[in-house]
Amino acid sequence: MIKNYEYCAYTYLHRKALLHYIQKNEYLLEEEKETLLIRAKVHDMDKLTLYLFRDKEEASKYHRIHSSHHITINKEHDKYDLLESIFDYECAALTKPDKPLNAYDTVLKWYPELKDEYLPILERLHMDSSYIAVSEEDKNYINQFSPSEELILKEVSNYLKNNQKTVYHDLKDNLCTKEEYEKLLTY
């Protein structure tokens, strides 16, 4: 069994939910949707890869520091970082029982210092109120996926093979041995 399988499965499903929520939002501008769908391809892939070699806390900490969609008041970010974070918050309730809030409620509860940046975007996307972010359609969508070890390893392998900047490029031997890396590429 792969290390941290349960966190890998959780992240795999979360990535599927993110794609779903971006695709179904009818208020995104076409350019925004296209850009977000491109970003969604690598969303949380550093964390998914790190889970294979590090404990959850270390992987999550690295991810929060290095991922542009984890917004803080002192961290530089752009419109797409904000949009990605909104959809990250919005879809969390579908796959993360410990995070039941929608994007609006998440911002108000956890990021009130950033609400002036978030609220105009949430309003434009018609996501500026409290509501249940999970529908039956959403549950049916996510329930079609069953993240096996092989599927997770294939996704990590594709990420490593198809992106010029990955967590492996940043950490190399501090992530895993060359042999472990080359084995990952075989999936």
What band does 1 get if pLDDT is binned at 50, 70 and 90? confident
Task: List, for residues 156-187, the tens digit of each pLDDT value.
Answer: 999 999 999 999 999 999 999 999 999 999 99
- Dump the DSSP string for 19-88: HHHHHH-TTS-HHHHHHHHHHHTTTTHHHHHHHTTS-HHHHHHHHHHH-TTS--TTS---HHHHHHHHHH
pLDDT at 113: 96
Q: Supply the pLDDT for residue 98.
A: 86
Domain borders along the chain are 5-184
pLDDT value at position 80? 98
The pTM is what?
Answer: 0.95
